[in-house]
Amino acid sequence: MTTATLNSLSRASSSYLRSAMHQPIRWHEWGEEAFATARCENKPMLLDIGAVWCHWCHVMDRESYDDPEIAAIVNEHFIAVKVDRDERPDIDSRYQAAVQAVSGQGGWPLTAFLTPDGKPFYGGTYFPPQDHYGRPSFRRVLLSIANAYKEKNGAVIEQAKMVENAIAQGESFAGRSGRISKKVIDAVIESALKMFDPEHGGFGQAPKFPHPSALELLIERHARSESAHVGRAAPGRPAEQSSAAGTNHRLKNVIVTTLEKMANGGVYDQLAGGFHRYSVDERWVVPHFEKMSYDNSELLKNYVHAYQATEEKFFADVARDIIRWMDDWLSDRERGGFYASQDADYSMDDDGDYFTWTLDEARAVLKGEEAQVAALRYDINEIGEMHHNPAKNVLYVRASIDEIASRMNLPSGQVRELLESAKKKMLMARLQRPTPYVDKTVYMGWNGLCVSAYLEAAKVLGLEPARRFALKSLDRVLAEAWKVPAEKDQAGGGARSTPTLLHVVAYSDPQAEHREVPGVLDDYASTAIACLDAYEATANLSYFKFAHAITDAMIKRFYDSTSGGFFDSEPVADGKNFGVLATPRKPLQDAPTPAGNPMAAIALLRLDHYTGDGGYREKAELTLETFAGIAEQFGIFAATYGIAVLHWLESPVQVVVVGRDLQDSAAKELCDSGVSPFAFRKSVLQLTANEAVEPKLPPALAATIPHLPQLMELRLGSGKPFAVLCSGNSCQPPVMDASELREALAAALQTQ
C-alpha cells in the first residue's frame, strides 16, 4: 500500500498494530466499530493477536497478510481485527483459552475466527501459506471457514457456544476452594524435581522456557533449609535430618545446574548480556531471539538470590551483566522507565542474524590468538546451529578458560584477557549491523517487576546506580500513570472516584496518539509491591502511601467480595465488553509473568504487616483459599501461589538499622548482616539519626518499636549505629555488633 492508502491501523498507538498499517487487509482495531461492521455485514471475524517482538507473527505477516491474494479473500469474507497482546492482555488471555479449547495449543500469532458478536468457533496459531509443518494453508483455512459460516451457520453458532462454555468453565474456580496449606509448596518442589533435566538444567524438554517463579521458590527453600541445617544441634532425629539434607542437596543441584547452564547457553547473550525468551532445544543453545523486560527482571532476581543462597560469585556476575544489558537497551535513561522488549529480527527475512556469527565474520573482527580463543570458547565453526543458514553460529560457552589455556598452552590469565578483548571487539562489530527493533513502550506492570528487581540487586550487590534508576523509573510511572480524580469528581463517590492505574505509561512511537488503557490486576499488584520495595530501600513514607492507595484501588476494582480472589480486569461500562471479555477470569498460573492473584495476596500480606489492618490479611487469606483446592495440580506453574502461601504462613522479620551516618563502616556492616540471608519474609530498613527522632515508620512498625527515638538518644550518644530485630509483633533489644545481629537473624528466620 502507498502512504495514501494506509489501513486504519495507521491511527493505532501500539507498535505491533502500526507495523501492519501498510498491509492490504482492511484491519480494524478492537472496538465497537469492528463489531458493528461485522453484525451489519453478517460476516465472521478474523482475529489476529500478536506482538511486535514475535518472530512467527512477522513470518505470518510477510507470508500471508502482505499477500494481495490473501488480503482479497480476507477483505471479501471477514471483518479483520488485530490486537497487540502486550497492550491488551485481557483480550489475549481469553482468546488463548478459547483457541486452546478448540485446537489444544496456544501462542502467538493467535489466529481465531469469531461470530459477528465475537464468540470464537475455530482457531490456531501460525498458518503457513501452503500446506506445511502438518498444518493446512492459510488460504485453505480462510475459504473453508468462510464457506462453513455461510453453509453451516447453525453448526458454527453451536460450536461457538461450546467454546464459550469451555472458557467459562476453565476460568471458574467455584467449588475448588480449600484450606491454605504448605502442601502446595511441597507440590511445586516435587513437580520441579520430577521435571528437572539433570544434564542440561531447566524443567521439561524442548522447547525449554525459564521458570523464574519456580526457581525463586526453590532458591528460598534451599536458603532456609541450609540455614536451618547449619543452625541445628547435632542430637535429634538423624533420619529426618538426613532426609532434609538430601532434599536440600537436590534443590541446590537443580538451582545451580539450571542457572549455570542457562547463563552459559545461547539463550543468554554472551556479548551484550540479557536473556532471550526461550530455547528451541533442550541444551539452551538455540534461542528464540526476542528479549523481554519481564524475563530479564525475574531472572535478575533469581541470580541475585542464588548468589545470596550459594555465595557463588558467578551468579552475581550474571546479575550485573543483565543490568548492563537492560541499562543499555531497555532503559529510558533521561526520564526513567523500562522499555518492553527487543525484537528477534531486524527484517522479515532475518532469523536471529544480528545475534549469530559465521566463522568468517568472527575472523574479520578478530585476529590471531583472539580469534582462536573466541572460537574455542563459543564453538564458532564452519557449520553452526541455525537451520536457515548453517554457517551461522549461536554463541554459547563450550569450553572453560582452563580448557582453552591447556589447549593453547597459555596462562589462564592471558586467555581471560584475550577473551574479554574479543568480546568487546565482537560487540562493537555487532553494533554496526542492522539492529532489531526495541519496543520503547513503557508498561506499568512490567515496570513494577523491573523496579523491584533493580532494587533487590542494588541492595544485595551494592549497586547504587541501579537503585537510583529504579527509583527514578518508579517516580516517573507513578507521576504519569497513577490518576487520582479531581475533588469535584470524587464528590459523587463510588467506583468512578477510585484512583486508576493506566496499563500503558508511554507508547514507543512518539508520533502515535496516547491511549489511556485501563490497568489490569497485574499492573496494580506489581506496582504496589514495587512501592513497598522502594519504601524499604529509602525509608521514604511517600512510597508506602502509594502502595497503600494502589492496593486499596486494586481491592475496589478487582476484588470479588462474594467468592474471594481477584478478577484480572474490570468489567467495561456501557455494555462494551465485546466478544468473550465479559467472561470473568481469576489468574492463578504463572504464564509467563507471576500470576495476578498470588501477587495481589503478597501485596496485601506485606501491607498488613506495615499497617496492622486485619482487613488486608483477611482478603489475602480468602484469595489464597479460593484456589487452595486446586493449586497443587498446577505444579511449577503455581510457584507464585506457593510464595504467597509462605508469606501467609510465616511471620515477617524486620531489621531496622539506625545510625548518624549510614555510610559509616559499622552501619554498613550491620546493614550487610541484615541483607545477607535470603528469605521472602525478611526486610531491612535503614534510618538516619534525625529520621529516628521522628521515625519514618508505617503505623504497625511504629507501634512495634514505640521507643525508637529514646533508643536513638541512648545508643547513638557514643556515635555508634545499632540495629533492632523485630519478628511478628515484638522486637529484641538493640544490637551494635554485626555478628550478633547475624546470629539473632538466623535464629529468627528458623522460627516459623
Could you state, in chain order, the average pLDDT of each consecutive group of 10 residues for the chain (752 residues)?
73 96 97 96 97 93 96 98 97 94 90 96 93 85 96 93 81 74 96 97 96 98 78 52 77 98 98 97 96 98 98 98 98 98 85 94 96 98 93 97 97 97 98 96 98 98 98 98 78 66 96 93 98 96 97 97 94 74 92 96 96 94 96 96 97 92 90 96 88 71 79 67 88 93 93 70
Phi and psi dihedrals of 556, rounded to 5? Answer: -65, -35
User: Is the residue at 196 inside a domain?
Assistant: no
Q: Which of 171, 204, 225 is the last residue of a domain?
A: 171
Question: Which sign, positive or negative, has the C-alpha torsion 172, 177, 180, 181?
Answer: negative
Q: For position 699, which CATH number holds?
A: 3.40.30
pLDDT for the residue numbered 555: 98
Give dist(CA 723, CA 705) in Å, integer: 12
DSSP letter at 284 equals: S
Give dist(CA 79, CA 26) in Å, integer: 8
Same domain, 631 and 694: no
Q: Are 352 and 344 contacting, i.e. CB atoms less than 8 angstroms apart?
A: yes
Same domain, 623 and 739: no
User: Is the residue at 294 inside a domain?
Assistant: no
> Residue type for 152, please?
K
Q: Are 627 and 701 contacting, i.e. CB atoms less than 8 angstroms apart?
A: no
Q: Which of 171, 194, 218 is the last residue of a domain?
A: 171
Q: Are 526 and 481 contacting, i.e. CB atoms less than 8 angstroms apart?
A: no
Q: Which three cell numbers stand for residue 485?
A: 480524580
Q: Which helix (H) or strand (E) element contains residue 659?
A: strand 653-659
Q: Which three cell numbers stand for residue 339?
A: 522499555
Q: For position 146, which CATH number holds?
A: 3.40.30.10
Give dist(CA 276, CA 351) in Å, integer: 13
Q: Which helix (H) or strand (E) element contains residue 478?
A: helix 464-481
Same domain, 630 and 658: no
Q: Which three cell numbers stand for residue 419?
A: 577473551
Q: Among residues 269, 287, 126, which one has the least CA distance to residue 206?
A: 287
Q: Which of 626, 649, 672 is the last residue of a domain?
A: 649
Q: For position 645, which CATH number holds?
A: 1.50.10.20
Same domain, 609 and 737: no
Same domain, 635 and 661: no
Q: Which three cell numbers stand for residue 65?
A: 497478510
Residue with cell 475496589: 556
Tell me which residue range forms the domain holding 135: 3-171
User: Is the residue at 296 inside a domain?
Assistant: no
Same domain, 595 and 734: no
The model's pTM is 0.95
User: Is the residue at 134 inside a domain?
Assistant: yes
User: Is the residue at 381 inside a domain?
Assistant: no
> What is the number of domains present in the chain?
3
DSSP letter at 9 equals: G
Same domain, 684 and 638: no
User: Is the residue at 631 inside a domain?
Assistant: yes
pLDDT for the residue numbered 718: 66
Same domain, 738 and 631: no
> Residue type for 613, please?
D
Give dist(CA 180, CA 349) in Å, integer: 51
pLDDT for the residue numbered 348: 72
Same domain, 723 and 610: no
pLDDT for the residue numbered 233: 45
3-state helix, strand, coil in the chain (%, to 5): 55, 10, 35
Q: Are 441 and 502 contacting, i.e. CB atoms less than 8 angstroms apart?
A: no
Same domain, 641 and 673: no
User: Is the residue at 200 inside a domain?
Assistant: no
User: Is the residue at 238 inside a domain?
Assistant: no
Same domain, 704 and 641: no
pLDDT for the residue numbered 489: 57
Same domain, 615 and 492: yes
Q: How many CB atoms lie within 10 A of CB 367?
A: 11
